[in-house]
């Protein structure tokens, strides 16, 4: 049993008590080593139900939020998922255990690079990464379109509504999870695309996320010591 196993078991039990029922999601959180994705000096908090800073003003979400967003997406092994905001790769790795394929975009180059290293170290082979502007969705690359996606998850908060590009890249019948609102009044929302022009909206719970920003971050300092994997 590794150093974190007892803490991990307690966390999974706490998530079940808090209402997470999807066993595939709980199994994914049990399999993926959260300590691998956070700074070394904070590894003692790896299995506490809290968000942890990872540098460049970003955080790895608390496990309950990761579990709730993943569960509400209703992902199956037939689905292709787009994630906006890779961070160091934790949410994408959780998704990789329940989805057929995950495509993930990160605007901070240092975080993108760390995430790629983490996916390689953990032998995660069904995740494709991109350094770019997530608000534009997944671009056409070499004439190859991956959109539309069965599911989209956004790990940063839109100010008023999801970017139009993301709505356009969602399959009819597809689901998007995204925080919406100003800092201090954000609500995690579940959008289901009912037709090309309509979608239903369900409020899930209050949350706190960093803002969803356009463009890529070319000013990120590469020597930020908190930007690291295992």
Catalytic residues: 61
Show the tokens assigned to 32.
């993926």
C-beta separation of 168 from 192 below 8 A: no
Question: Would you say the C-alpha torsion 158, 181, 73, 64 has a positive or negative sign?
Answer: positive
Show the tokens assigned to 106.
């990160």
C-beta separation of 86 from 131 below 8 A: no
Please spell the DSSP secondary structure of 74-101, one letter per residue.
T--TT-EEEEE--TTSHHHHHHHTTSSE
Question: What is the Cα–Cα distance from 82 to 104, expressed in whole angstroms?
Answer: 6
- Rounded to whole angstroms, what are the CA distances from 156 to 18, 87, 113, 115, 151? 23, 10, 19, 17, 16
In the sheet where 199-207 sits, what is the strand order?
127-131, 101-106, 80-84, 149-154, 170-180, 186-193, 199-207
Q: 């300590």: which residue's tokens?
A: 35
C-beta separation of 46 from 4 below 8 A: yes
């Amino acid at each position: 049993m590794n150093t974190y196993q007892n803490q991990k078991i307690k966390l999974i039990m706490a998530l079940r008590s808090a209402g997470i029922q999807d066993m595939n999601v709980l199994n994914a959180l049990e399999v993926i080593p959260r300590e691998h994705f956070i700074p070394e000096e904070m590894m003692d908090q790896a299995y506490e139900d809290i968000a942890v800073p990872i540098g460049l003003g970003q955080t790895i979400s608390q496990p309950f939020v990761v579990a709730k967003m993943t569960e509400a997406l209703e992902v199956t092994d037939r689905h292709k998922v787009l994630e906006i905001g890779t961070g160091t790769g934790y949410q994408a790795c959780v998704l990789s255990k329940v989805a057929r394929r995950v495509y993930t975009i990160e605007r901070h180059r240092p975080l993108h690079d760390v995430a790629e290293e983490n996916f390689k170290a953990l032998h995660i082979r069904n995740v494709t990464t991109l350094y770019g502007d997530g608000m534009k969705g997944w671009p056409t690359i070499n004439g190859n379109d991956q959109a539309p996606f069965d599911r989209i998850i956004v790990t940063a908060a839109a100010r008023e509504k999801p970017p139009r590009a993301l709505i356009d890249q969602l399959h009819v019948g597809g689901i998007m999870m995204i925080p919406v609102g100003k800092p201090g009044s954000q609500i995690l929302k579940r959008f289901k695309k009912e037709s090309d022009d309509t979608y239903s909206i369900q409020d899930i719970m209050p949350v706190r996320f960093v803002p969803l920003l356009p463009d890529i971050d070319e000013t990120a300092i590469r020597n930020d010591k908190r930007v690291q994997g295992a």
